[in-house]
Structure 1
Amino acid sequence: MNTPVLYIVIPCYNEQEVLPVTSGMFLEKINSLIAKGRVAPESRVVFVNDGSKDNTWNIIQELANSDEHFEGVCLSRNRGHQNALLGGLMTVKDRCDITISIDCDGQDDINAMDAMVDAYWDGCEVVYGVRSKRDTDTFFKRFTAEGFYKLMNWMGAQVVFNHADYRLMSSRVLNEFANFKEVNIFLRGMVPLVGFKSTSVYYERAERIAGESHYPLKKMLALAFDGITSLSVKPIRLITGFGALISVISFVGVIWAVVEAILGSTVAGWASTTSIVCFMGGIQLLCLGVIGEYIGKIYLETKQRPRYIIEKCTWNRENSQK
C-alpha cells in the first residue's frame, strides 16, 4: 500500500476565538503523522468556513498563507454543520486517499488520529471516533446525549453509540457516498449505510478550549428529529399502531355505551366527554405534525436544491455546486 494522502476536514462557524489555538494542534499532528511515514507529505488540514459572521474566514486565509499544510474552503452562506462537513469532504475527495473529519473546538482527542490511520493501514475503510466516557459533561448533558443515541437507534436510525462526526473515511467510501443525493442529510446515520470494513477508536473528550458550543439542547433535539425522519419511517409505523390501538379501545367503548344505554343506566356528564375530546384532539395534532414533517422533507427532496455552494477555495479551485 502506498503512503496515503490525508486531508483533515474541519467545519467552522464563528470560530475566531478557538481557531488560532486549535490550528496549531492540527498542524502539529499532521506533521507528526508525516514524520512517522504514516501519511504522505502532501497531506493537508482543510478548514470549511460555513458562512461565518465573524473573522473566521480571514483567519483561515492567513493560516493558508502561513503554511502549505493549511487549506480553506468557503461556502457561499451558512448551511449548517452537516452540509458544511459534507461540502468539505466532497470537495477534497479527489485530492486525497483518506479524510478525517473533526470539529475545531479541541474537544475531540486529536491523538486518536494515529489509531485511525493505523486501522486504515490494517484494511479498514471507515474508522469511527467514539467517546469512551463522559466525565467532563454535566449530568443533564450526559443524560440527554446518551438518550439521544438510544432514541435514534430505537427509532430505526442506526448510529454508532457515542460517535459524533469524528471519523476517518477512505476516498473509496467518499466516492460511493457521493451517490447519496438526498437533501436532508444526517451523516452519523448515513455513513454506516455505505458499508465496507469499519472499526471504532475510543478516546476521552475534553472540554471546549474556547468560545461557546454551537449545539445547545434545542439544536441537539432538532438534529435528532432530523436524523430520525431522514433515516427511518418507524414514527409513521408507531402512529399507525397507536391509531389501531385507539380504534380498538374506541370500538369497545362504543359497545359498552350502547349496552349501558339499553340498560338505562347512563348518566350524562360533560367532564369525561371533554377530557376524551381534548385527549384525542391532542393525539391527532401530534400525529399530523409527525406526518407533516415527512411531507415537508419530501417537498424539499423534490426540489433537488444544492446542499451547499462553494464560493472559493484557497487552492483556487473553480467554484462549484453540489
Structure 2
Amino acid sequence: MDVVRTPDDRFDGLPDFPFAPHYVEVDSGDGGKLRVHYLDEGPSDAEVVLLLHGEPSWSYLYRKMIPVLVDAGFRAVAIDLVGFGRSDKPTRREDYTYAAHTDWTWAAIEAIGLGDITLVCQDWGGLIGLRLVAEQPDRFARVVAANTMLPTGDHHPGKAFLAWQKFSQEVPVFPAGQILNGATLSALPAEVIDAYDAPFPDDRYLAGARQFPMLVPISPDDPAAPRNRIAWEALGRFDRPFLCAFSDSDPITGAAEPVLRGHVRGAVGQDHVTIADGGHFLQEDKGRELADVVVKFIGATPR
C-alpha cells in the first residue's frame, strides 16, 4: 500500500483550531501500519463523546462543538478517518473499501482505549459509526445521529446523492473546501475553506475523498450490502438511548431521519431534535446548537 502523509505545516495557524494532535497506529490490512490522527480534549477520565466526521471533511469540522462539550465536563475525541485530515492517506483508490474503513476506525477506537462511548456521527461518520454500533453495541452508551444513515443498497439513494456522486467523479479538481461551503447554509470564510483544503496538497492525497462517494451502497449487489443488511437488523435491536438531531435543510439525508427513528429500539420515546437553519454540514452552520443538544441528551439519559 502506497501511503502519503500531509506535511504538518499545512495545519499551522488554522482559525479557531487550538487543539493538539494525537496519533495511534492501526494495521493497514496488508501487513503495514497506518497512522490515524485524533483530537482528545477534556479530562481523560471523563465520559467520552466520540465525534466522527464525513466526506470530505475532517476533525476541523468539530472545532465549534469541542469547547462546549469540554466545558460541560466531557472528554471529546474526534478521529480523522484514514484518507482525511492528518491521518495517513493511501494513494490508490482501490485501497479504500467500506470494510477497510470500519476496520481502521474500530482499530483506532481500541488503540485510543475508548469505552462507554457517546457517538456523535454525521455523513460518512454515521455510515461507519452506526455499523460499529451494530457490531459492537456494548461499547456504546448512546448515539446522536445527525444527517446520516446506514444504507443497505435496497432503496433508491435519491437524486441529490446521485448528483453529488456524479460531480465527485467528474470534477477535474476536487474542491474539498468549496464542497463544504456549498453544503452549508452560511457562507464559509476563505480561511475556513482553506482549512478544509489543508489535508490535500495535491491529487495524490485525494484518493479517499474521490472514492468515498462510490463506496455508498446504492444497489443490492454492492460489496458492502450484505454486511450492512446484517448491521441494519442489529441496529434495530440497539436499546440504549438513540437520538436523531438532523438539520432542516439537508437534501442528501433528510429522508433517513424518520426511518432511523422508527427502526432503532433506543430511539423510541426520545425527544428527537430538528435543528433549524442547518445544511448538510450542520456542525458548521449550527455547531454550538448541536453540541448543546448532545450535552442535554447525555444529561437526560444517565448511565
Higher helix share: 1
**Structure-1-length-normalised TM-score:** 0.28
**Structure-2-length-normalised TM-score:** 0.30
* Bigger-Rg structure (1/2): 1
